[in-house]
Structure 1
Amino acid sequence: MTNKKYMLFFKPLCRKFESWVFKIRLILKGIKGEVVCPGDCKYTKWSRIKNTRFKYKPLCIVKCKTADDVKKVIKLCVLKNKAFRVRSGGHQHEGMCSADNVVVIDLSGMNNINICGHTAWIEPGAALKDVYEKLEKSNYTIPGGGCMTVCIGGLVQGGGWGMQAREGGLTCDVLEEVELVDANSNLLTVNKDHYEDLFWAIKGSGGGNFGVITKYKFKLMDKSTVTLISIRYPMEFESNNQQGLKDDMILKLAYYLENLQCFNNKFTSFARITPYDQWSDLPRPTLWMEFQYLGCKQDAERDLKWFTESLPGLSIIDYRLQVSIYEGFLLLNGVIPERLLSTNDTQEIPNLLSFSLQPLSPIGLQQLTLWNGSTQYIPKTTCGCQGLPHKVSSAFPKENVCIRQMAEVIVNYVFYNKPFSKAATYLSIHSLGGNVREQLSPNSSFFYRDKEFLFQFQTWWEEVEDPNTTCYLNWIKNFREVLKDNNFIEGGFINFVDNSLQLEDYYGENFIKLKNIKYEYDPCNIFNFEMSIPPEPPEPPERKVPWLGEAKEKE
């Protein structure tokens, strides 16, 4: 048997043996969670992450149930020199919550939500859908994210943007305390009074850098009625006037971006510009502007009137029902809430379908059953699916950038660079400002609080082996480069991680401080992965050496 054949035969056996030995050691240490190894019937399922571009084969997956489980896994990994990754919901866009031949510390089973007065303790594996639903039953909410299958653990450590951001701030802004397992397997209580520098670091630097957080304490907001408004351009397609359509879209996009800070803080919005009309499959770019208003429909119409009257040619699809924050969250994920599905108001169902589905990017179909037993097939969306191959990137506008020129570059790119239409490919624009800006920057490590909005470049497709994958990836890469080459953008948002960016892009001037904090709490770099913050000791203070004459005078 040649060496190559020998390795092909014995290497998987050795790896399987190694994983089972690790499992037995954990069991002997009294771990309460399940340990899934290669060969187990659950291994394929629990090896999968949300970005299905990556097909990793970890050494084992440890489904922790308690903080004590986490401590035991980290301690054994350090003792046996085993690399590990930390995973809450598996939404890390570059797949860095897993890897080949590592121990995956899976926190999805730690998903308790305990409400006490105006605060709540939430474990990292709680999905946003469950968080919003349970809090709303107690008349509370938090400014969380926008995707229903994202878990709280990764969201809050990266900052956390959602459709209440301009009123409630980022998710990390309502964080009051955490329990964290450090590199020495100690369970720390971290807040503004205890380990203040560590508390600052974990709010905005991304997950997995400083320890494993096993519990989060949030300050809660009172729940509110919300009004959802969707604005689309264009509605009618004039095939003989492409240039006029393009010029008009540039003006409308520029007006939207220039006036984001003029909106009442009760408005948070995101826009989406796509190279295709993904509902008619026509080769025309489409601009969507989605608004969530914390308040009733009449107040929303009043506070938005100045904007819509200044932009003739827009079509406003007004969601006629006032909904709760949780119901609005479901609608923005392409899910019709059960309460609304059960209504016999046949006039409202088309409005629900129109609002919740048209601005989203379709990936395949799913069946929807209405109150009367009839069914409709509606598209799955990138937020609601359990996993799709995809690529994202992000950036912030530079200070004093010419919005009109930037809008022209954006619209020109989507007009003249069309990937294959079956990919959900688009640029999202997330509004900031409001109370995101008002939060004092020393309170968290999120660096870009002064920005007015955030770009997210996205492409999603159905088949992992799609032969056009390179085309989809290049669309993202080239789009970002065009804006960067024109000096329009800088930085990035760590929740929308892209491995082609540098760490300095995400952390700005906070990077040195973050490296120093990393050195203080994890000098041996136990918590490391492809884009983790490296430890770096602080520079020693400069020593003043007296002049020779000064020294003699003292003598």
Structure 2
Amino acid sequence: MIKRLGWRGCPMGEWTDERAPDRRAMLRLAAQATVAGLGAGLLPGAAQAAESIPEAPQSPDERAWRELRGLLGEGGRLRRPGESGYLETALPKNRRYANVRPAGIVSCRSTQGVSVAVRWARKHSVSLVPRSGGHNYAGHSTTYGLLVDLSPMNSVRPRRTAGRPRLIVGGGATNSHVYQNQRYDLYFPGGRCPGVGVAGLTLGGGLGFNDRKWGMTCDLLTETELVLPDGTVVRASERENSDLLWACQGGGGGNFGINTEFTFGAVDVSRLVSTVFDLTFDAEHGVALLRSLREIIERDRRHDFDCRLQFSGANGRTGPQVNVLGHYLGRRAPLERLLAEVLALNPTRRFIDERGFWRSQEYLLAPAETTALVSKSLAPSGWPDDDAAEAIVDWTRRWRSRGPGNTGYVTLFAMGGATAEVAPRDTAFPHRNAKYIFDIGARWAQNASDYVIDQSLAAVTEMYDDLRRRAHTSAAYVNFPDPALRRWWDAYYGPNYHRLTKIKQQYDPTRFFRHAQSVGSALTVM
């Protein structure tokens, strides 16, 4: 079995071809992985070694790869290092893990192709990782073994079940694929980044600009198709394998099987009007902004208002600032009345525009980026007080960009509304009482030096530790995974972890699907 990487906190840009990492970088990785493994409390013995200590890439012999090509047929395409399209497909969106190159990539066109890849990997003891969008913050969607690329399976089609509209989404579809099918005028709450896979978004819960109105992405999941570790294909719904459906509603990707299709309950948005707003302020207004936005959200009984508040450090082009981005399901006039106190702070940039629903969603999409990043998250059940807000502002003021593309940020994603109407145990996603999700992070260029990376990591850790103490919680969002997070199973899943481990044992008793923070790889004290 190819051994897997636990903490891959290596400098990016050192390897631009397909060679293995050099010894200096590998030793640095091993040291970090050992610390992370001890902190996380991984299972002792072979499992801990397999997931915490990286090894040089391994691969079966060429006869095995020829066998895989023959088995795939029309179900998929195999790419090996040096072949056309390999490097482009191999690179994850988070370039922090760009050095981890798979021994082979299967781009699957069908569920049957995925099943073939899984059976072959088991037969030849090759580690296997599925990828939909490839945005995993902790590098869990890349591997030294076999990468199963689902991107060709990106269909989006409507269906009516018992008179209710549904959207059927392929396992490789991204947010942009859903938005490109506006002709159906059917929508389920999705994410902001166009290239993010619907699969990963859903399996981790699913934050977006409409979760306060209609719930998280996972809340609208009614059925999903999976390829299990033995290659068999099953459906999970309320009628069959309901425990597996529950696990797929926030239990994290790469844990129970490879999801090849999703069915979502959909909302007809053909007649909806939405007003987008994009406001930027000097960092000094951060405390007042956070206070005002809290009041707006608490007054918004219909849950029509949703926003993201981002504090950013200086990046070479701008000084420290705060951006408020979001939309209101309604006309411009009532939104401006809601935002009166916010607008009175005189934003340096002010954009408010009433438009149709789909045009609003297009505006809210994040620009595509290729960068390396780190993220730490928190899911507090109470709003930050003025002292906490001032601490965030102070951190952004002290941030020093150390090179092109190097910036630090603290982002708050509003929660509540429909997300809080679901009980914590009704889905695997447990943080139903969270008022918002913190994303504390930093970005840097792929070729950044060790100094830039180390300083960025230190600054992010400082801010995270401060906010964790102030919020009195370590609860975290599994779709913002942090390789250094201690007791991650408690942070991501809380009381739901025990049930997740039982479902893991039922559907994947040998832990074929695994990564450094996969369900079942941590001791649980009950």
Aligned to 1:473: 457
Deviations 1:196-250 (A, max 9, x none): 111111110111100111000011111232111123323xxxxxxxxxx74x532
Distance 1:16 1:311, change over 3 A: closer
CA distance in 1, matches of 2:178, 2:444: 28
Of 58, 61, 75, which residue of structure 1 is paired with 2:102?
58
Aligned to 1:85: 129
Q: Report the alpha carbon displacement of residue 176 of structure 1 after superposing the two structures with TM.
A: 0.7
TM-score, length of structure 1 as denominator length? 0.77
Q: Report the alpha carbon displacement of residue 401 of structure 1 after superposing the two structures with TM.
A: 6.5
Distance 1:44 1:249, change over 3 A: closer
Answer yes or no: is the 8 Å Cα contact 1:167–1:265 preserved in 2. yes
Q: How many residues align?
A: 460
Answer yes or no: is the 8 Å Cα contact 2:371–2:444 preserved in 1. yes
Deviations 1:163-185 (A, max 9, x none): 11110110111111001111221
CA distance in 1, matches of 2:69, 2:340: 62
Q: Report the alpha carbon displacement of residue 150 of structure 1 after superposing the two structures with TM.
A: 0.8
Distance 1:216 1:400, change over 3 A: closer
Answer yes or no: is the 8 Å Cα contact 1:141–1:221 preserved in 2. yes
Answer yes or no: is the 8 Å Cα contact 2:326–2:364 preserved in 1. no
State which drifts further: 486-495 or 312-321. 312-321
Distance 1:537 1:462, change over 3 A: closer
Answer yes or no: is the 8 Å Cα contact 1:75–1:184 preserved in 2. yes
Answer yes or no: is the 8 Å Cα contact 2:129–2:143 preserved in 1. yes
CA distance in 1, matches of 2:467, 2:521: 32
Q: Secondary structure at the match of 1:409?
A: helix
Aligned to 1:326: 358
Deviations 1:438-483 (A, max 9, x none): 1233331111011111101122223333451222222212110121
Answer yes or no: is the 8 Å Cα contact 2:281–2:348 preserved in 1. no
State which drifts further: 402-411 or 490-499. 402-411
CA distance in 2, matches of 1:330, 1:186: 38
Aligned to 1:269: 307
Matches within 5 A, 1:4-23: 18=60, 20-23=62-65
Q: Secondary structure at the match of 2:158?
A: strand
Answer yes or no: is the 8 Å Cα contact 1:142–1:220 preserved in 2. yes
Q: Unpaired segments of 5 or more residues in structure 1?
A: 1-7, 9-13, 235-244, 335-382, 541-555
Distance 1:138 1:318, change over 3 A: farther
Of 206, 209, 212, which residue of structure 2 is paired with 1:160?
206
CA distance in 2, matches of 1:462, 1:511: 36
CA distance in 2, matches of 1:434, 1:402: 18
Answer yes or no: is the 8 Å Cα contact 1:228–1:318 preserved in 2. no
Distance 1:394 1:183, change over 3 A: same
Answer yes or no: is the 8 Å Cα contact 1:19–1:37 preserved in 2. no
Aligned to 1:133: 180
Deviations 1:321-360 (A, max 9, x none): 43333322332336xxxxxxxxxxxxxxxxxxxxxxxxxx
Distance 1:421 1:226, change over 3 A: farther
* 1:295 and 2:295 aligned: no
Answer yes or no: is the 8 Å Cα contact 1:53–1:464 preserved in 2. no
Aligned to 1:225: 273
Of 412, 425, 433, which residue of structure 1 is paired with 2:416?
433
Q: Report the alpha carbon displacement of residue 299 of structure 1 after superposing the two structures with TM.
A: 3.5
Distance 1:48 1:402, change over 3 A: closer
Alignment-mate amino acid for residue 446 of structure 2? E
Matches within 5 A, 1:109-148: 109-117=152-160, 118-134=165-181, 136-148=182-194
Structure 1 runs of 4+ with >6 Å offset: 14-17, 535-540
Matches within 5 A, 1:376-525: 383-385=367-369, 387-397=370-380, 399=381, 403-420=385-402, 422=404, 423-466=406-449, 467-501=451-485, 502-525=488-511
Answer yes or no: is the 8 Å Cα contact 1:515–1:537 preserved in 2. no
Deviations 1:274-330 (A, max 9, x none): 122x58523xx312222311122233234x1xx423774243855454333332233
Q: Secondary structure at the match of 2:262?
A: strand
Q: Secondary structure at the match of 2:291?
A: helix
CA distance in 2, matches of 1:78, 1:259: 53
Answer yes or no: is the 8 Å Cα contact 2:310–2:323 preserved in 1. yes
Alignment-mate amino acid for residue 288 of structure 2? L
TM-score, length of structure 2 as denominator length? 0.81
Alignment-mate amino acid for residue 105 of structure 2? I
Q: Secondary structure at the match of 2:425?
A: helix
* 1:204 and 2:250 aligned: yes
Aligned to 1:355: none
Matches within 5 A, 1:334-349: none
Q: Secondary structure at the match of 1:470?
A: helix
Answer yes or no: is the 8 Å Cα contact 1:200–1:443 preserved in 2. yes
Distance 1:451 1:292, change over 3 A: same
CA distance in 2, matches of 1:320, 1:475: 34
Answer yes or no: is the 8 Å Cα contact 1:260–1:452 preserved in 2. no
Distance 1:17 1:316, change over 3 A: closer
Alignment-mate amino acid for residue 122 of structure 1? V
Distance 1:19 1:409, change over 3 A: farther
Aligned to 2:91: 48
Distance 1:452 1:401, change over 3 A: closer
Q: Report the alpha carbon displacement of residue 436 of structure 1 after superposing the two structures with TM.
A: 0.7
CA distance in 2, matches of 1:299, 1:83: 54
Q: Report the alpha carbon displacement of residue 535 of structure 1 after superposing the two structures with TM.
A: 6.8
CA distance in 2, matches of 1:497, 1:71: 27
Aligned to 1:372: none
Q: Secondary structure at the match of 1:231?
A: strand
Answer yes or no: is the 8 Å Cα contact 1:271–1:428 preserved in 2. yes
Alignment-mate amino acid for residue 467 of structure 2? L
Distance 1:213 1:255, change over 3 A: same
CA distance in 2, matches of 1:208, 1:26: 22
Q: Report the alpha carbon displacement of residue 425 of structure 1 after superposing the two structures with TM.
A: 1.9
Q: Secondary structure at the match of 2:96?
A: coil
Q: Secondary structure at the match of 2:95?
A: coil
| Larger RCO, structure (CA 8 Å, separation 6 or more) | 2
Distance 1:523 1:46, change over 3 A: same
CA distance in 1, matches of 2:395, 2:153: 44
CA distance in 1, matches of 2:358, 2:63: 45
Of 67, 70, 74, which residue of structure 1 is paired with 2:114?
70
Alignment-mate amino acid for residue 122 of structure 2? V
Distance 1:46 1:151, change over 3 A: same
CA distance in 1, matches of 2:459, 2:111: 42
Q: Secondary structure at the match of 1:428?
A: strand
CA distance in 1, matches of 2:353, 2:305: 17
Q: Secondary structure at the match of 1:408?
A: helix
Answer yes or no: is the 8 Å Cα contact 2:403–2:448 preserved in 1. no
Aligned to 1:34: 77
CA distance in 1, matches of 2:498, 2:324: 37
CA distance in 1, matches of 2:470, 2:126: 45
Q: Report the alpha carbon displacement of residue 130 of structure 1 after superposing the two structures with TM.
A: 1.7
Alignment-mate amino acid for residue 315 of structure 1? P
Aligned to 1:364: none
